[in-house]
Amino acid sequence: MDTIPLDYGTLRMIWWLLLGILLIGFAVMDGFDLGVATLLPAVARSDEERRVVINVIGPVWEGNQVWLILGGGAIFAAFPALYAVSFSGFYLAMFLILVALILRPVGFKFRSKVQDPRWRSVWDWALFVGGFVPALIFGVAMGNVVLGVPFHFDDNLRPIYTGGLFGLLTPFALLCGLVSVAMLAMHGAGMLAIKTEGAVSERARRLGAMAAVATAVLFALGGIWLALGIPGYAVVGTLDPAGPSNPLAKQVVAESGAWMRNYQAMPWTWLLPALGVGGALVCALMLRANRAMAAFLASSVAIASIILTEGLAVFPFLLPSSTQPGASLTLWDASSSHMTLFIMLLVTALFLPIVLLYTAWVFSVLRGKVGGSSLGDNPNSY
C-alpha cells in the first residue's frame, strides 16, 4: 500500500466525484435522447416530421448510452456494496428500465421497414415509452436515495432488501420522477431546437419552455419539501476515511434537517440549487428567444446542478437504509480496496479522454440541421 501515491481516503473521494461526473455525463448526453423520445408524439404530427425527430437522435443514441455503461461499471468496481444492494433491491425497477431501453434500438430499426401507418405508429409509441419510462424511474430512484431504502446486512455482510417495487413509488419519489421527466424533456427540446427547423422546431421550443418552467417549479417544491418535512441521516461520531470497508462498523441516526447540514456548513453551496432553478429558467427564456444553443447549454447547467444538489445534500452517504440506519452505505465504508481504486483511476485517466474525443468527433461530423430533404437523400436515415 505504501507504493500507491494516493491515500485511501483521497481515492475514495476521487471516485465519489467521478461517479457524480459519470451520472452527469449520462444525464446530459443520453438525457437529450430520452427527452426527444418523450416529446416525439407532441412535436411531430406527420410521418415526415416524426422521421426528422427520430433522425436527430438515431445516429448518436448508442454512443451516448456509453455513459450509462460507464456509470454502472464504476458502481460495480468502485462501490461493490452499493451495486449489490441497488441492483438486487431495485431489480424490478431495473428490469422496467432495461425493457424500455431495449425498445429504442428495436423502434429505430423496425419503424421504417413497413409503410403501414399503424405499424409506424406502434413503434413511435414504443420510442416514447423508451424515453419516458427510464426518465421517470431514474428520478424515482434518486428520490428514494434521499428517503432511504429498506435493506440491511446479515452477519456475513450479505445485503437483504425488504421492500418492493410499489413501495418505491412514494409521493416524494414520484415528485422526483416528474422533475426528471420535465428536466430531460427540456433538454431534449433544446437539442430539437438546434437540429430541426420549421414547425418541429417551433413546437419543440414552445414545449421545451413549458418543461423548463416545470423543472424549476418542481425542483424548488422538492427542495422545500425536503427541508421542511423529510428527515435525513447522520453518522454518530466520525468515520475514518482510510478505514476498512465495513458498513456495519458505525452508528447512524435519522434526524430532521440532516440533509441540510452540508449547506449550512458551507453557505457557498447554495449556488448549486440556485443554478438548478436559474439554469432551467434561462433555458426557457432562450428557447422563447430562439437561441437554441444557449438554451441547450443552460439546460445542461441545470441538469448538472440538480444532480450535484442531491449529491452534496446526502454526502457522505451513497444509499441510506430506512430500516437499519447503521447499515447505510457511505463512500468511506462501501468502496473497493485501495489498490483496486488506484488501478481503476489509471484506467479511467486513459479511456475517459478517448470517450470524450470520439464523442466530440461524432457530433462534429453530424453537425447541421435534420430536415425532410436530407432524409430523402440519405439511404442510411431511419
The Cβ of residue 243 has, within 10 Å, a number of other Cβ atoms equal to 13
Comparing CA positions, the residue from 143, 149, 146, 169 lying closest to residue 161 is: 149
Give the pLDDT band of residue 296 (cuts 50, 70, 90). Answer: very high
Give tens-digit pLDDT for 160-197. Answer: 888 777 788 899 999 999 999 999 999 999 999 999 98
The predicted pLDDT at position 6 comes to 85
Q: Which range marks the domain in which residue 267 is found?
A: 8-238+248-366
Q: Is residue 94 part of a domain?
A: yes
Helices (H), the chain: 8-43, 47-57, 61-64, 66-78, 80-89, 91-110, 117-147, 171-195, 198-229, 261-265, 271-288, 292-314, 338-365, 372-377
Averaged pLDDT for residues 280-289: 96
Asked if the model's pLDDT at residue 1 lies above 60, the reply is no
The predicted pLDDT at position 137 comes to 94
Give tens-digit pLDDT for 130-153. Answer: 999 999 999 999 999 999 999 888
Please give the single-letter amino acid code of residue 275: L
Comparing CA positions, the residue from 201, 208, 188, 209 lying closest to residue 29 is: 188
Give tens-digit pLDDT for 83-122. Answer: 988 888 788 888 899 999 999 889 888 888 888 889 999 9
Spatial CB neighbours of 82, under 8 Å, sequence gap ≥ 6: 75, 318, 319, 329, 334
Specify the number of domains making up the chain.
Answer: 1
Q: Is residue 375 part of a domain?
A: no
Q: Is residue 265 part of a domain?
A: yes
Comparing CA positions, the residue from 5, 33, 10, 2 lying closest to residue 108 is: 33
Averaged pLDDT for residues 283-307: 96
Q: Is residue 53 part of a domain?
A: yes
Task: Annotate 163-193 with b (16+ C-beta within 10 A) or e (fewer).
Answer: eeeeebeeebbebbbbbbbbbbbbbbbbbbb
Give the pLDDT band of residue 304 (cuts 50, 70, 90). Answer: very high
The predicted pLDDT at position 147 comes to 93
pTM of the predicted model as reported, rounded to 2 decimal places: 0.93
294 CA to centre of own chain: 21
- How far is it, in rounded angstroms, from Cα 53 to Cα 46? 11
Averaged pLDDT for residues 276-284: 97
Q: Is residue 232 part of a domain?
A: yes
The Cβ of residue 78 has, within 10 Å, a number of other Cβ atoms equal to 25
- How far is it, in rounded angstroms, from Cα 303 to Cα 187? 8
Asked if the model's pLDDT at residue 262 lies above 70, the reply is yes
Phi, psi of 135 (to 5 degrees): -60, -45
Give the pLDDT band of residue 129 (cuts 50, 70, 90). Answer: very high
Averaged pLDDT for residues 348-372: 87
Q: Is residue 124 part of a domain?
A: yes
Give the pLDDT band of residue 293 (cuts 50, 70, 90). Answer: very high
Per-residue CA distances from 367 to 16, 133, 167, 290 (Å): 34, 29, 44, 18
Give the pLDDT band of residue 376 (cuts 50, 70, 90). Answer: low
Query: Which residues sit opposite 23 in a β-bridge?
Result: none
Asked if the model's pLDDT at residue 62 lies above 70, the reply is yes
Residues in the chain: 382
The predicted pLDDT at position 243 comes to 86
Asked if the model's pLDDT at residue 330 lies above 90, the reply is yes
- How far is it, in rounded angstroms, from Cα 226 to Cα 200? 38
Q: Is residue 60 part of a domain?
A: yes
